[in-house]
Structure formats: structure tokens, C-alpha cells
Amino acid sequence: MKVSTFLLTLGAGMVAGGAAALMLPEQCAPRKAAQKAVNKAEEKMMDMMS
């Protein structure tokens, strides 16, 4: 497996996990932390693809 493929798979898993955490109520701390993690993961994915 190529490193880039592994990193894309890892990033996709992080995004999917973050999306599941976003089902929590909006004001709870775990959701806020998950949203920050999802935003960072999305930025890194976009950087990797460009």
C-alpha cells in the first residue's frame, strides 16, 4: 500500500468518525472538539489533494 493511499484512508476515517460525533447536541464539549478535528482533517485532505 502506498503511503498516500494510507493517508487518504486515514483521513477519510477521521472525517467519518467526526461526522458521527457531530450527531451530538450542539453545545456539548465533545461535539465542539469533534468539529475542530473535522475542520483540521478537511483542511489537510484538501492540501494533500492539491
3-state secondary structure of 50: coil
Q: Helix (H, G, I), strand (E, B), or coil: what is residue 35? A: helix
Domain layout of the chain by residue ranges? 3-49
Average pLDDT, the chain: 80
Task: Tell me the per-residue pLDDT of 34-46, one tens digit each, with 9 for 90 and over.
Answer: 788 888 988 888 8
Contact assessment for residue 2 and residue 29, using Cβ atoms and an 8 Å cutoff: no
pTM across the whole model: 0.48
Residue 13: pLDDT over 80: yes
DSSP line for the chain: --HHHHHHHHHHHHHHHHHHHTTS-TTSHHHHHHHHHHHHHHHHHHHHH-
**Does the pLDDT of residue 1 top 70, yes or no?**
no
